[in-house]
Structure formats: C-alpha cells, structure tokens
Structure 1
C-alpha cells in the first residue's frame, strides 16, 4: 500500500483524493483553510492544514509519503509567485529530509507555451510565456525539474483549460452568446476534463512517470468553432467576432498529447463535452 499526499485540494485535488482513496491508497489531503477539514476528511485518510511556503508544515506532511501531488492555486490577495514559485522552492528545500518520497507530481499549465500562432507544440518545444503569470509557472517548472534524481521522479502535467461537473464548457462560454468578441476567434482551444486529470495523475503515479507531459483532449479546434457549437447545442444567440480588435490571449497553440498517450494513458473524454 502506497502513501500519497496532496498539497492543495481544490477542484482538482479533491477529485484526485477521492480517486486515490477508492483505489486503496493511503491519502493525506491538505488545505490552507481549517474550515475545509471535514470536506477533505470525507475523501482521504488524513486531512491537514498546510501552507506550501511553510517548511515545518511541509516536512511534517511529507514524512512517510511515497508520492506527492502539488496542485496549488492562488488564494485571495495571493500572487502567482507566492502560490506557485515559493511553494516549489520550499518543497525543494525539504526534499532531502524525506528520502522515502520517490515522486513529485505537479499540475502546471499549457499557458507556458505562449503564442505559436496556432501551430502544434509538444513537450520539447521551448516555452515562451506571454505574460508575468505564465512566466512564474515556467520558472516553477524549472525549479522542480532540477531536483529530479535517479531515485526521485518529477512529473509535470501541463493542463489545458479545466472543465467538468460545475465547470461545464457551456457554462463557461454561454456568457459570450449574442456578444461581439475581439479578434477572429482563431485562437486554438485546449481543454481537459476533470475525469482525465484525475485519471492521468493516477496513471502517472502508478507508472512513476518522469518529465513533462501535456494533458489535453484530442479535440483541438479554434475557439470560434467551440463557441459556435456551444451556441447551437444550447439554442443560444451566436457570437460575432471583430477582427479589427486585437484578441486578449497571449497563448495560442495546438497542444499535442501524444507523449502521454504513447506512455499508455487512454483518455476517458477524448472528445469535448459541450
């Protein structure tokens, strides 16, 4: 029986905890909000209050653990640097104290790729983050990858947009219905269902994957096509695009998921649910 810990149990971490618990792993789930302890206790064997930038709390969490998932997110009035980079640096500073820990999994973002004009990118493509937050995520990746050893794997999963129960794609895009949006809608959309995030994390932990893996579905398409499908499916007024206005995103690429599939992971939702 393996001991696994989750640093940050929000939308993703909560599902992973429940998934791992059902698979028979011994799960420790964490939060920075003591009021959420009962919620975490329902899907884990142990729930703790742990701050990612607190060395003592982090060392206590990792004692006796075989694997760690880092799935943190920004809290109110917290910067990306505080939430992601400082957590990674603190984790690196305590790793030598926990030799049993053999794998660290980290949920990163495909936004680190930046603007490739809609061309394909893969894990070996040099990243060029287009805004300060994406630059912090890229630096966080670098800090974590540097501490991989022959005895400890570091697996970075670059996630596309996250959707699933309570965060349905239709709910995300329906507010655009009947409006005029800047750009021509050609920016590529990369999404992944919550089921596949939990499934791929469990697969990566089980297989001891090391390195970077993109985690997106097969349904890569321009944003305008996805929005049009949402509007048609749900009988909403169509969106108009104004190419005379610049689009807002600094991230535009078709993200390949071939590496993860070649490793043996089969997507639960290869086609997008709208």
Structure 2
C-alpha cells in the first residue's frame, strides 16, 4: 500500500514511518525543509518538502505521491509548554488542524485518495460532566483549550465527513515527546494544582504509531481513543514522573495561585480533566499496547 504521511519528521512521524516501512508499505513522508529529507530517507521513506498551510504545495505533494491513504500528522508543538498562553502556543498547530486538514482533504479528493487518517487529541479534555473516564460516545469539552478545541472540532468533523478515521491520541511520551515537560519537572516548575484530581490519559509514541498503522491498513472509519489502559489523576502520574526523572516531588500550589501563574487551562487539566477509554480501539482495530500503563513507560523511558 502507498502511504502518504504528512508530518513525517515530527516526534510521532519518526516512530510511525519505520513501522509502516517494516510492514511492507511504500511510504512518502513530508518535511518542512530540505535539511530533514535525509532523515526520511534513512527511515526508508521517499521524502518530499511540503508546506501544510499552502494549498498548492499540498496538492502537488499528494499528486506526486499518488497514495492509497493519507495520514495527517502535521503539528507545530515545540518548546516550553505555555498553558497560560495556550492559544498563542498552539497557533500554528491550530492552523494546521484547520487549513492543513482542508488542504489534505481537497488534495485527496482531487487525486482519488479514498482514505484519510488524522491525528486528534484526547488526554484530559473530555466533557467535564459525569465520570472521570470518557468513551468515543462522549463529546470533547468545547472550551477546555480555547481556539485549540475549535480546531480539533473542525478537523474531526471534516475527516469524519470524508469517511476517514480520527485518532484521538492521549498525551504522547517517548523519545523527544516530553523533554520540555521533564525539564520543568526537574526544576520543580511543574506543580500539582489544588487537589490534583483531574484525570489525564497517556500513550507511548510507539503504541500511538502502531494504532495508526492498523487504522490505515484496515481503512478504519470513525473516532478512536488511542490511549493506554490507565487514565489517572495528576496527583498520581506527576509525582511518579518526577521520581522516574530523578527529581524531587513536585510542589503543590492552590488553585487561585495557579490561575494567576499558569492560566485557566492548566487549572482545568489538573483539577477537572477527564481521561479516556481505549476499549473501542482494542476491540475494533485489534490494537495491543507495548506500554499498557504510563507507569511502565515512564520508568523505561527515563531510566
């Protein structure tokens, strides 16, 4: 199968492309500049430079590759987490989830690509009503991440309308994915807010990649939560992350102070976040996890 990976050099793309190649697929993957093409070649893919925010660039890249399936992994998340200015931190990623998605879907239609798989997000942003763990039947919270929530809604609606698959990844960890967060933990700049009772779901990069391969191969449709088996409150996973990183336990700060210092998004995540269930992905995709819990994954990654 010919697979087009938009965003092949990101932290997830770098784990996904080798898995696709290992399963015998012909992969064309995109990079944002020529300097990154050597990395794609090393992974066994044909590399192509593409600007995901430029319709012509996207159309030409897809037309050149002539894929059977498009996998949308384009984001621009890097640097120190900035929950206080979340919309600014995620500005380019939000555009990629809106404009980039539209460009890829238009290119798919123009070239006859019948299937699209796209990255979405489901870590702590479930609807803040009822229980602490949500399924695909539960809506995402409409306000949890400001403009980011609107961008996710746009992506999911567009991809589902096109008959594709939306993969709601939990918080990603693994090589290169959490370096900035771990650095904050080591500096004791990543505190537990309030009770720390808000839930999050995590998933290792390799497990997220394997689920993506299955969704592409099976021409899956609909929404899937790609998370591990253990959604957990911040008061559990954050001290454990600190211990695995060889850091002192995180400080605790009251909600009122965190709201001033870190903003409403951080407070919501830490105190009201809802995690997610992976039962559907396991059942319908036949997905198995190498790291069923962040406990094992954090320990091995930070050993």
TM range (shorter): 0.7 to 0.9
Alignment equivalent of 1:221, drawn from 232, 247, 256: 232
Q: Distance in 1 between matches of 2:157 and 2:118?
A: 12
Taking only aligned residues, the RMSD between alpha carbons, in angstroms, comes to: 2.5
Q: Is the 8 A contact 2:186 2:242 kept in 1?
A: no
Q: Distance in 1 between matches of 2:190 and 2:29?
A: 42
Q: CA deviation at 1:189?
A: 2.1
Question: Where do 5+ consecutive residues of structure 2 fail to align?
Answer: 79-87, 299-303
Q: CA deviation at 1:91?
A: 2.1
Task: Give the match for residue 222 of structure 2.
Answer: 211
Matched, 1:68 2:70: yes
Q: Secondary structure at the match of 2:12?
A: helix
The 5 Å alignment of 1:90-109 reads 90-99=103-112, 101-109=113-121
Alignment equivalent of 1:259, drawn from 280, 289, 292: 280
Q: CA deviation at 1:230?
A: 3.0
Q: Is the 8 A contact 1:178 1:238 kept in 2?
A: no
User: Which deviates more from structure 2 when the two are superposed, residues 220-229 or residues 49-58?
Assistant: 49-58
Q: CA deviation at 1:74?
A: 2.3
Q: Is the strand fraction higher in 1 or 2?
A: 1
Q: Secondary structure at the match of 1:106?
A: strand
Q: Is the 8 A contact 1:173 1:227 kept in 2?
A: no
Alignment equivalent of 2:162, drawn from 130, 144, 147: 147
The 5 Å alignment of 1:90-239 reads 90-99=103-112, 101-110=113-122, 113-116=126-129, 119-129=132-142, 130=144, 131-148=146-163, 154-167=164-177, 171=182, 174-175=185-186, 177=188, 181-233=192-244, 235-239=246-250
Q: CA deviation at 1:178?
A: 8.4
Q: Distance in 2 between matches of 1:178 and 1:141?
A: 33
Q: Is the 8 A contact 2:193 2:252 kept in 1?
A: yes
Q: CA deviation at 1:167?
A: 3.7
Q: CA deviation at 1:114?
A: 4.8
Matched, 1:3 2:2: yes
Q: Is the 8 A contact 1:176 1:239 kept in 2?
A: no
Q: Is the 8 A contact 1:8 1:73 kept in 2?
A: yes
CA gap of 1:235–1:80, structure 2 versus 1, over 3 A, is closer
Q: CA deviation at 1:244?
A: 4.6
Q: Secondary structure at the match of 1:79?
A: helix
Q: Secondary structure at the match of 1:261?
A: helix
Q: TM-score, normalised by structure 1?
A: 0.87
Alignment: residue pair count: 267
Q: Is the 8 A contact 1:113 1:128 kept in 2?
A: yes
The 5 Å alignment of 1:44-59 reads 44-59=44-59
User: Which deviates more from structure 2 when the two are superposed, residues 74-83 or residues 218-227?
Assistant: 74-83
CA gap of 1:94–1:258, structure 2 versus 1, over 3 A, is same
Matched, 1:82 2:81: no
Question: Where do 5+ consecutive residues of structure 1 fail to align?
Answer: 149-153
